[in-house]
Structure 1
């Protein structure tokens, strides 16, 4: 299923219920943030090494999948309402990040791009 067809399905779902009135950019952004928080809460007290075992429990995996789907769904609705082409926006952002985080400076570390700038060799 494509992003376009998922977006259309979500749009139809909202229209059938007359929910467009509630799907303002502000409300959708808040809902997206709330769902991201619900996803985060599932992992809140787990150590990194515990996650894979925790996900072996089907109820935990289903909870994660549902929260991820909620986040994705609200993001798609927000993009639809704002007429944002998410695929194009993501490709553009990847290009921006490639400039900010050149492979030779960013490989193997988690430094922010502003800290990487000081690692650039001086131009001769």
Structure 2
């Protein structure tokens, strides 16, 4: 699968996609990359934070469990969890089938930033270069 150009990435294999603004905050949807889900194998369980949880960049916000291992999911940005993908409780394999769409994990409200809060993350080309080098 190609690395979509419409979002930003972390070196821990999360993606972040700006959804829009909500009461002077930017809402950013977060998930794991196709590379990450492929490396994990068949995903069987997902643990996500609660709506309202405060998150800070680089800290674990959940876990993805596969038939191979358990991996932490890290916050790409600071903010407040405004939504979680409840559908993953019953269908965690959605992450394998559609990591950049229906397999999203959480949405984070990022306050006080007039610009794009994801601008400090890797663009698609830089992320793909990171993956290719590993």
Fold match by TM threshold 0.5? no
TM-score, normalised by the number of residues in structure 1: 0.29
Higher helix proportion, which one? 1
TM-score, normalised by the number of residues in structure 2: 0.27
Higher strand proportion, which one? 2
Larger radius of gyration: 1
